[in-house]
Amino acid sequence: MFRIVLAMALFAFPLAAQATEAGWALLRNGGQVVLMRHANAPGNGDPANLDIEKCGTQRNLSDRGRQQARRIGALFQARAAPIERVLTSRYCRARDTAVLAFGADETEIFAALDIAPDEAALAAQKAEILERIANFTGSGNLVMVTHLEIIDALIGGRAREGEAVILSREGDNLHAAARITFN
């Protein structure tokens, strides 16, 4: 059994590396839209006393998450075309990921990337995000730092903490053209 698990792990590693290299190749060309889930923030959900303006009332990045965010920024700088714009959720874990990776001057709050309180809000946020994506025509890359729920609503799939999903746009339909995982 151990050999089967080991063989499967060895087989999967090159596939993950290929997927990551395909993502970097797309980003080097520029003009891409990237959905990124915030870096490592332990736990699930937020406390009942959540105040979007107070980080102390939210789930926040761990030390590992802050290191991960810095590594994301360094790799983007070394391997991708310039970042034209960084949009982020107002939640501290997303905002901190964006600022640590790309800098405060490059980061802009975009509340549509927040966790939606209900299905109606999620539908409205999704429409606002899709409009922003449809209107993006830059030569650099657009990065949107957000949460699992938003990524799932947009592409119908999940993303790990700190994972970048490079989008393929076909009309109103989005899907993952490639992924980059930052461990």
Q: What is the DSSP string of 150-178?
A: HHHHHHSS---TT-EEEEEEETTEEEEEE
Which of 55, 96, 45 shows the shortest CA–CA distance to 72? Answer: 96
> How large a percentage of the chain has pLDDT more than 90?
74
pLDDT tens for each residue of 106-147: 999 999 999 999 999 999 999 999 999 999 998 999 999 999
The pLDDT value given to residue 13: 37
Structure tokens, 134: 């449809």
pLDDT over threshold 80, residue 8: no
The per-residue pLDDT for 19 is: 58
Tell me how crowded residue 163 is: count the other CB atoms within 10 A of its CB: 23
- Beta carbons within 10 angstroms of residue 138's beta carbon: 15
Question: What is the model's pTM?
Answer: 0.88
Under the banding of pLDDT at 50, 70 and 90, the label for residue 4 is: very low
Give the range among 2-16, 25-39, 62-76 with minimum mean pLDDT.
2-16
> Which letter, b or e, does each residue of 71-94 get, where b requires 16 or more Cβ atoms within 10 Å of its Cβ?
bbbebbeeebbebbbbbbbebbbb
The pLDDT value recorded for residue 15 is 37
d(CA 13, CA 33): 25
Cβ-based neighbour number of residue 104 at 10 Å: 10
Residue 45 makes CB contacts below 8 A (sequence gap 6+) with 59
